[in-house]
Chains A and B, each alone.
Chain A
Amino acid sequence: DAKTTQPTSMDCAEGRAANLPCNHSTISGNEYVYWYRQIHSQGPQYIIHGLKNNETNEMASLIITEDRKSSTLILPHATLRDTAVYYCIVRGLAGYGGATNKLIFGTGTLLAVQP
């Protein structure tokens, strides 16, 4: 079972920041938070991941709360092409065996960017 909780859907105006929340209250110290997205009828695309510090790359920023029980993915300037299902996934550190090492997808958040 997925260890994260995300809203089913969200809307965002084009050009505005999209803030996608994720709860992972049972995350353990050896688990990362990963974000992927899936545009309709395509394979998932990696966005970003983090352990406890905030992370930023060319696609997005990841803000992780100090207690690590929740995080927010921020798309700074959403475009129509960002319309997709966004998945927040908790996954164990490399080298740790078992199910926690696999990417197990939950239901994700359908982000609809409106013109």
Chain B
Amino acid sequence: GAVVSQHPSWVICKSGTSVKIECRSLDFQATTMFWYRQFPKQSLMLMATSNEGSKATYEQGVEKDKFLINHASLTLSTLTVTSAHPEDSSFYICSARVIAGWSYEQYFGPGTRLTVT
């Protein structure tokens, strides 16, 4: 299957600082990318959907000013957690999607573990 990478794989930051996470589709172009968040022992929760060159669409309850998403190209999307607080500590996972006939192919990155101290 196709490969999606994330960088960094883990990050520790101090409360009040901002953190940027990169997501890249390495061997395909993704028209749509997604960002998920996962707390310990819970399932993945979709945060936002982004299409290349347009503004991201956020799920209900996700603060768009806190979680800034930029989808500058068909192979790169970034998530910036602004003014991070300990409650933002989580596992952030990106995903990239392409259309294949009548269905989708969607692949996930390995995740980024964010710890805010």
Contact with A along B1-21 (1 / 0, CB 8 A): 100101000000000000000
Binds B, one of A11-19, A63-71, A105-113: A105-113
In the complex, A77 has a CB within 8 A of chain B: no
- Contact assessment for A102 and B93 in the assembled complex, using a CB-CB cutoff below 8 Å: no
Contact with B along A37-71 (1 / 0, CB 8 A): 01001111110010100000000000000000000
Contact with A along B101-116 (1 / 0, CB 8 A): 1111111111101000
- Contact assessment for B43 and A106 in the assembled complex, using a CB-CB cutoff below 8 Å: yes
- Contact assessment for A105 and B103 in the assembled complex, using a CB-CB cutoff below 8 Å: no
Binding site of B, secondary structure by majority: helix, strand, loop or mixed? strand
In the complex, B58 has a CB within 8 A of chain A: no
Task: Report the bound CA distance from A56 to B65 in whole Å.
Answer: 44
- Contact assessment for B111 and A102 in the assembled complex, using a CB-CB cutoff below 8 Å: no
Q: Contacting A43 at CB < 8 Å: which of B101, B104, B110?
A: B110
Task: Report the bound CA distance from A95 to B4 in whole Å.
Answer: 23
Task: Report the bound CA distance from A104 to B46 in whole Å.
Answer: 7
- Contact assessment for A41 and B91 in the assembled complex, using a CB-CB cutoff below 8 Å: yes
In the complex, A35 has a CB within 8 A of chain B: no
Task: Report the bound CA distance from A59 to B17 in whole Å.
Answer: 42
- Contact assessment for B102 and A103 in the assembled complex, using a CB-CB cutoff below 8 Å: no
- Contact assessment for A42 and B111 in the assembled complex, using a CB-CB cutoff below 8 Å: yes
Q: B residues near A, CB below 8 A?
A: 1, 4, 6, 34, 36, 43-46, 49, 91, 93, 95, 99-111, 113
Q: A residues near B, CB below 8 A?
A: 32, 36, 38, 41-46, 49, 51, 87, 91, 93-95, 101-108
A-B contact pairs, 9 of them (CB 8 A): A43-B110, A43-B111, A44-B108, A51-B102, A51-B103, A94-B100, A94-B101, A94-B104, A108-B43
